[in-house]
Amino acid sequence: MTRLARFQRVALLAASTTVITGGVLLPTSAFAAPSTPPAAASAAVGDAAAHWTQATDDPSGVMAELPGHAQMQKYTVNGYQGRAYQVETDYGAIGFVVYDAPHGGGQWDLKGSLKNALANYNKSSRSADDRLTSHDVRVSATDSGQPVLDADLSTGDGTAGHTRFVDLGDHLVQIEVLGTKDAQKTMDADYRQSLSSLQLPSGTTTRSS
């Protein structure tokens, strides 16, 4: 799979989420990455000398720095609205997604979100080596007590990455990176920097791991 194709798939890695509102389980449907998206729909391309730029999700107030200028992509699935901010890099892609909870908020199922996101990614997998799996899943919380789930990602064909979900009640935030293992040092450094820059609406940050 080419780097561009891999980027197009990771761009919607977090597209399938589950939210619990008022004790009722409300699953969303995964939206698939377009097979041939127009150039304007793709995130900006970064390189080794990329200028780190702050991307802000105005509806939620979530902010994070990315190694390039990200374009926002809006999505609506079964009444759930989401906005993705991502940058293509030499190793793959990095970015974050913000989802809005319907009906004024609730509790997000972070483990279910990770499981569904992987299932969404793997829908187009052609072999076992191309299937994305999670490992070293950790559950923690922000300094303000918001639930956090972290996981490392990999495939048998040399793809690696990381993802973090943060439950804000009325919003779910996912920050993610995916690339090739031969550039993992650079990828990991970018991910740590982006995590460290992540600002939540309450003014809190999430610890980088």
Q: What percent of the chain has pLDDT over 70?
A: 69
| 87 closest CA partner among 176, 150, 161, 188 | 176
Joined together, the tokens standing for residue 164 give: 């973090």
DSSP type of residue 101: P
C-beta neighbour count of 51 within 10 angstroms = 8
Residue 153 CB-density burial (10 A; 0-12 exposed, 13-18 middle, 19+ buried): buried
Distance in angstroms (rounded) separating the CA atoms of residues 133 and 80? 25
User: CB within 8 A of 23, min separation 6: which ones?
Assistant: none
**Is the distance from CB of 164 to CB of 174 less than 8 angstroms?**
yes
pLDDT digits (tens, 9 = 90+) for 80-107: 788 989 888 888 889 998 988 877 667 8
Structural domain harbouring 75: 3-197
**Is the distance from CB of 165 to CB of 172 less than 8 angstroms?**
yes
- Return the top range by mean pLDDT from 11-25, 67-81, 189-203: 189-203
**Is the distance from CB of 165 to CB of 137 less than 8 angstroms?**
no
Alpha helices in the chain (DSSP H): 3-10, 110-122, 184-197
Tell me the CATH number at 165.
3.40.1000.10
In a domain, 202, yes or no: no
Joined together, the tokens standing for residue 28 give: 């969303």
- Return the top range by mean pLDDT from 2-11, 85-94, 98-107, 137-146: 137-146
Kindly report the CA angle at 13 between 9 and 14, in degrees rounded to 5?
Answer: 155
Q: How confident is the model at residue 18 (pLDDT cuts 50, 70, 90)?
A: low
Confidence check: pLDDT of 186 > 90: yes
In a domain, 59, yes or no: yes
**Is the distance from CB of 25 to CB of 101 less than 8 angstroms?**
no
Confidence check: pLDDT of 38 > 60: no
In a domain, 209, yes or no: no
In a domain, 109, yes or no: yes
Of 44-48, 147-151, 162-166, least confident by mean pLDDT is: 44-48
In a domain, 203, yes or no: no
In a domain, 205, yes or no: no
In a domain, 185, yes or no: yes
- Return the top range by mean pLDDT from 27-41, 99-113, 175-189: 175-189
Q: DSSP 3-state assignment of 181?
A: helix
In a domain, 184, yes or no: yes
pLDDT digits (tens, 9 = 90+) for 50-75: 689 999 999 999 999 999 999 888 87
- The count of domains in the chain is 1
